[in-house]
Amino acid sequence: MVKNVDIAIAILLLIPLIALLAIPTYNHVNPTLAGISFFYWYQLLWMPLSAILFFIAAILWNRKEEKEERGASKSTRRNARKGRR
């Protein structure tokens, strides 16, 4: 089952990929930054931006897994009790 949190994680992971695949959108010399052409500094900018997006995705994902693990251990305990009865 696909939940909202799964969609959020997928979007967070895919944004940098889509931005970097769209080469014609950033393949320009201008505007330059400290003499560096746009082509370079735009891609450098995506490094910290991606780290932020990925880190949020990692937290969401880890939290989701923790919840699932707790849920799973609860339901196995429940099943074990049922089995005994």
Partner 1 sequence: MINSISITVFVALFAVFVFLGFYGSKWRKGNLKQLKEWGMAGGRIGTAVGWFLLGADIYTAYTFIAVPSSLYAKGSIYFFAAPYVIITYAFAMWLMPKFWKIANKNGHLTVADFVRSIFNSRLLAVSVAIVGIVAELPYIALQIVGMQAVLITLLSGIGALNFIIEISLIISFIILAAFTWTSGLRGAALGSILKDVLILLTVIIVVLAVVVLGGFHSAFLTAPSTISYFKLPSSLYNAYWSLFVLSALALYLYPHVINGTLAQSDPKKVRKTASLLPLYSLGLGFLAMFGFMIYGVPAALKYVHQFPASVQGTQVVPGLIVTLLPSWLSGAALLGIFIGGLVPAAIMAIAAANLFTRNIAKEIKPKMTPAGETRTAQVFAVIFKFLALGFVFIIPATFAIQLQLFGGILILQILPAFVFGVITNRMNRRALFLGLVVGIFLGVYMMVAANHYATWTTTLIATGIGPVFIGMLALLANIAVVVVGSLIAKAFNVSNGLKASMKY
- Point out which residues bind partner 1 (CB under 8 A): 13-14, 16-17, 20-21, 23-24, 27-29, 32, 34-40, 43-44, 46-48, 50-51, 54-55, 57-59, 61-62, 65-66
In this structure, are residues 41 and 33 in contact, taking their beta carbons and an 8 Å threshold? Answer: yes
From CA 64, how far away is CA 7, in angstroms rounded?
12
- Give the shortest CB-77-to-partner 1 separation in angstroms: 19
Q: Which of 66, 70 has the CB closer to partner 1?
A: 66
In this structure, are residues 60 and 8 in contact, taking their beta carbons and an 8 Å threshold? Answer: yes
* Max Cα–Cα distance, the chain, nearest Å: 76
From CA 76, how far away is CA 81, in angstroms rounded?
9
Q: Which of 7, 29 has the CB closer to partner 1?
A: 29
- Give the shortest CB-85-to-partner 1 separation in angstroms: 27
